[in-house]
Amino acid sequence: MISVALLRGVNVGTKPRIRMSDLVTWLRESGLEHVQTYINSGNVVLEHPQNIDVAGRVREALSENAGVEVPVIVRTASELAVVVANNPYPGAGPTHLHVSFLEAVPDEATLRSATTLDWRPEEFTVCGRDVYLHLPHGLGESRLAPRLSVIKGATTRNWNTVLALDEMVRRVEH
């Protein structure tokens, strides 16, 4: 099975610094195959047996080899393909569109509180465990992203990264 492991907060700001070449080695040593990374911020495409805890395996490898605890969110190849296909903002530029990947579907109370505020011109759409953020002025200038409670604990990627990961997954599958 092919999946993408998204590490939260790696190599950004003062967060843990992890060389991607080391991460590839550690994950291969842990039994994962076809391990590839994309850019230097914790995006990993890998192959694994169907019934393993991929996030747990990645966290364990990081803990044992780097001594760090890092949240990891996993999407299978088919789940990532659905994220790409379900883009509710197809006209948004790739640097103005982001996806926040959540561990679980947000609860109804969190969703209700997030939708009561007017974020215009910024907007968001929740699709299961994924939150699409349309940020016309970019993530750095966003008032929505740092205040949106529905993405608490998420790891966020811009649309270019999502598309690149989807392409990597498709290459591994074939």
Q: How far is CA 79 from CA 7, 76, 116, 169, in A?
A: 17, 5, 29, 11
pLDDT at 174: 72
Mean of the per-residue pLDDT values for the chain? 92
Q: What is the percentage of the chain residues whose pLDDT exceeds 90? A: 70
CA atoms within a 13 Å half-sphere pointing along the CA-CB vector of 124 = 31
In the sheet with 97-101, reading across from the earlier edge strand, the strands are 123-127, 130-134, 97-101, 155-158
The CATH number of 2-79+163-173 is 3.30.70.1280
For the stretch 88-143, pLDDT in tens is: 999 999 999 999 999 999 988 888 888 888 889 999 999 999 999 999 999 889 98
pLDDT at 9: 75
100 neighbors 156 (Cβ within 8 angstroms): yes
CATH 3.30.70.1280 domain position(s) in the chain: 2-79+163-173
Q: What is the percentage of the chain residues whose pLDDT exceeds 70? A: 97
